Structure 1
Amino acid sequence: MADVFGMAIKDYQSGHYTEDIKTYSSLDEEDVIPIPYLFRGFKEMPVIEQKALKLAKGKVLDIGAGAGSHALYLQNKGFEVTALDNSEGCVDVCKERGLTSVVLNTILDYSEERYDTLLLLMNGIGLAGKLNNLSPFLQHLASLLQPNGQVLLDSSDIIYMFEQDEDGGYWIPNDGSYYGEVSFEMEYKGVKSAPFDWVYVDFNTLQNACDSNGFNCELVISGEHYDYLAKLTLKK
């Protein structure tokens, strides 16, 4: 499978930035991921990400680290942080940018250590892919946590992307699937990724899933556009 994300990030890191990543989704929307944004410093990060980084404690695993910007910030603050990504290109760039602990793997295949903080930023919970994968995904996260550990994740309720009727209700396709499930493809310099599943989870749905999988789920802050930061801790 083409490492589209890794190719783009490596180009930017080596000074060959000429275009952004195009994304195509089952929501019929074509969009772009601006590559410079993936290299942002703390001041350029959204408030939700800044808050998550301020709440980080102890030994940290940055899941889906990308170009490593979150992990780098924490490492520079003195944290013991590991950047995890399943993209070879991303892992190479994380190392080039000075991260000392970088792992090439998918989160579901990773079980090496336990952490005080698991970071899932930029809708990292989307890695679960589908709503019915959320329970096993959360159970796996639990297995990576120290007893007093925490998961810090952000996501969005994408209900706003559906048409609203006059009484304020939303027209959601009744095909049996959860409305936050999206299929994506990415394209960079003419190279397309294989389609992959991604899920945006509204807070109530996340809370219910956490409750049935041994987590407390706290809403830390809401963003300006249906997005939020949640803190998950293991029930005693």
Structure 2
Amino acid sequence: MYDRIAGRVLDIGVGAARFSLPLQRTGVDVVGLDVSPGAVDVCLRRTLRSAVLGGIDSLGGSERFDSFLLLGKNLGLLESREQGPRLLTRLAEIANPGARIVGTCVDPYLLEGDHHKHYLAANRDSGRMSGQMRLRLRYQQMATEWFDYLFLSSTELEEMVHGTGWSVTDLTREGSGYAIVARRMDVTAKAGSP
């Protein structure tokens, strides 16, 4: 997937910079973004040049990017049917022409086991997307706040992307997981102009 990444990069949910640091070593201008103060601290200690604490709205109004990374299954950060389009639209607003999203996810419908099927059905019965999870991360005595994370099929992703300024242009599957590249649509084409 690294061959699909170009220009100035925003790594969303950067974590410990496992994707950002190899890119930075090749000369790519990478900005890491994470809501975890610990993750941002680790990124900076690991010598990532730029790491921002917060969500997408924490970035300055003049920030522009050519590539957005949602790797490590971080398409899950789309969170829900309501939040996903908001995040994608916001990314389109800070994207340079021709920008792309490179992301990975798990298709919840391809997971094996009855417990997965029951979880998907319970979500649907409560009006949530099948692969929507409510979770928090814990390590020893530390824990995050509860947050939503979304596993969605590539078909659900394509439906979510519709009308946000992006179009899925490439899809690669491996087992229950998949990787996508989405391209920022031309503004006139998005508006329906010829």
The alignment's TM-score, normalised by the length of structure 1, stands at: 0.70
CA 1:94/1:191 → structure 2, altered by over 3 Å: closer, same or farther?
Answer: closer
2:54 corresponds to: 105
1:45 corresponds to: none
CA 1:171/1:88 → structure 2, altered by over 3 Å: closer, same or farther?
Answer: closer
* Counterpart amino acid of residue 85 in structure 1: D
- More RCO (CA 8 Å, sep 6+): 1
Aligned pairs for 1:144-223 (under 5 A) are 144-159=94-109, 160=111, 163=114, 172-173=121-122, 174-223=125-174
**Offset of residue 147 of structure 1:** 0.8
Q: Deviations over 1:116-171 (max 9, x none)?
A: 1011112222223212211111101111210111111111111225639xxxxx97
Q: Report which of the two structures shows the higher radius of gyration computed on alpha carbons.
A: 1
The alignment's TM-score, normalised by the length of structure 2, stands at: 0.84
Cα distance in 1, alignment partners of residues 114 and 126 from structure 2: 16
Cα distance in 2, alignment partners of residues 162 and 214 from structure 1: 36
CA 1:74/1:212 → structure 2, altered by over 3 Å: closer, same or farther?
Answer: same
Residue segments in structure 2 that go unaligned for 5+ positions in a row: 187-194
Q: Work out whether 1:57 is the aligned partner of 2:6.
A: yes
SS state at 1:172 partner:
helix
Contact 1:185 1:195 in 2 (8 A): yes
2:78 corresponds to: 128
User: CA RMSD for the aligned pairs?
Assistant: 2.0
Cα distance in 1, alignment partners of residues 94 and 5 from structure 2: 15
Cα distance in 2, alignment partners of residues 135 and 87 from structure 1: 23
